[in-house]
Amino acid sequence: GDSVTQMEGPVTLSEEAFLTINCTYTATGYPSLFWYVQYPGEGLQLLLKATKADDKGSNKGFEATYRKETTSFHLEKGSVQVSDSAVYFCALNPFVNQGGKLIFGQGTELSVKP
């Protein structure tokens, strides 16, 4: 079945370091791909998305490119800040005509130290 696999956390970085969180997926067809972020004590919020192969989603300095050949959607940021400390979730929607029914990865906790 359809699934999402993320790199395990926690990931600990120093401020201004480069961030990569790996995400790979298994799905038939052409799913939409998403990254969500969850700050402490809050629900998830959309960080970025990509809806077709080679699309690049970007927001707040974060980027991810939809790579169909490697079934990947890795999250990157060139210079992280302490305020980026959160849990990051990769997700896909394999359903062409059904919005919102996402399959999530297990989440990757990021901790950024000053």
Partner 1 sequence: DVKVTQSSRYLVKRTGEKVFLECVQDMDHENMFWYRQDPGLGLRLIYFSYDVKMKEKGDIPEGYSVSREKKERFSLILESASTNQTSMYLCASSEQSSNSPLHFGNGTRLTVT
Burial readout 78-94 (b: 16 or more C-beta within 10 A, e: otherwise): eebeeebbbbbbbbbbb
Q: Residue 64 and residue 56: Cα distance in Å, rounded? A: 6
To partner 1, the closest distance from the beta carbon of 17 in angstroms equals: 25
Strand partners, 6: 23
CB of 95 or CB of 111, closer to partner 1 = 95
To partner 1, the closest distance from the beta carbon of 45 in angstroms equals: 7
Contact assessment for residue 74 and residue 5, using Cβ atoms and an 8 Å cutoff: no
Q: Residue 42 and residue 16: Cα distance in Å, rounded? A: 25
To partner 1, the closest distance from the beta carbon of 79 in angstroms equals: 26
CB of 14 or CB of 45, closer to partner 1 = 45
Interface contacts to partner 1, rule CB under 8 A: 4, 32, 34, 36, 41-46, 49, 51, 89, 93, 95-102, 104-107
CB of 17 or CB of 111, closer to partner 1 = 111
